[in-house]
């Protein structure tokens, strides 16, 4: 039995497909950017599969085959930073003017690029879990509400596509958190 919460440094990281994909729960995330705070709803992982029954003469189902597999991850960023907005609207649609401090965000219909995502989760009992999406793409954006007294949230749905090994997500769970040596 366990509950999950983000690591102190943040729970969601993203990086280009060219970044080194982590293969354990502790390695440094070189080339990845932290997504900052995420809403209290946390991370939701959805896995859907469609199947088709093979029916023999006489009506008996003799085999069930999987015809499709879809895996998604959903969460809500609650920080309005250039890095977060680039995940929502695309890197070419977020322009930062360093001289004026103005952030320009362009809403377009273009598909967003494929990237890697890493979710860092602290589990009960001083355990750690890292979920790695080596080939993901934001395919949906939830409604954005501007309400007095509530944070502005950006809710992407991340579709996880198979990597060269046919894997959509990797989970690495450590029985104890690695000592930092401090």
pLDDT for residue 167? 98
> What are the two backbone dihedrals, phi and then psi, of residue 13, each rounded to the nearest 5 degrees?
-130, 150
Q: Residue ranges per domain, the chain?
A: 4-174
DSSP 8-state code for residue 111: P
* Nearest CA among 140, 133, 123 for reference residue 76: 140
pLDDT for residue 182? 46
pLDDT for residue 125? 84
C-alpha–C-alpha distance, residues 127 and 172, integer Å: 11
**Token reading at 78:** 């609650």
User: What are the pLDDT digits (tens) for 158-178?
Assistant: 999 999 999 999 999 997 655
User: What are the pLDDT digits (tens) for 45-73?
Assistant: 999 999 999 999 999 999 999 999 999 99
C-beta of residue 31 within 8 angstroms of C-beta of residue 20: yes
> What are the two backbone dihedrals, phi and then psi, of residue 120, each rounded to the nearest 5 degrees?
-105, 120
H/E stretch holding 24 reads: none
C-alpha–C-alpha distance, residues 27 and 86, integer Å: 25
Bridge partners of 133, per DSSP, are 117
Count CB-CB contacts under 10 A for residue 153: 18
Spans in the chain with pLDDT lower than 70: 1-3, 5-10, 176-182
pLDDT for residue 1? 60
DSSP 8-state code for residue 124: T
What burial letters (b/e) apply to 127-150, b meaning 16+ CB within 10 Å? bbbbbbbbbbbbeeeeeeeeeeee
């Amino acid at each position: 039995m366990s509950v999950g919460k983000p690591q102190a440094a943040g729970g969601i990281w993203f990086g280009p497909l060219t970044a080194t994909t982590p293969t354990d729960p502790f390695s440094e995330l070189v080339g990845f950017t932290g997504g900052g705070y995420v809403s209290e709803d946390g991370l939701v992982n959805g896995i859907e599969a469609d199947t088709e029954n093979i029916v023999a003469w006489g009506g008996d189902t003799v085999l069930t085959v999987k015809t499709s597999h879809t895996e998604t991850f959903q969460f809500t960023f609650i920080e309005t930073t250039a890095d977060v907005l680039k995940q929502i609207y695309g890197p070419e649609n977020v322009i930062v003017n360093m001289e004026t401090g103005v952030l320009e965000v362009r809403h377009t219909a273009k598909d967003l690029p494929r990237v890697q995502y890493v979710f860092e989760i602290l589990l009960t009992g001083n355990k750690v879990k890292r979920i790695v999406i080596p080939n993901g793409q934001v395919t949906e954006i939830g409604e954005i509400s501007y309400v007095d007294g509530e944070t502005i949230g950006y809710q992407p749905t991340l579709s996880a596509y198979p990597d060269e090994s046919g894997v959509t997500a990797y989970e690495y769970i450590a029985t104890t958190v690695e000592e930092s040596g401090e």
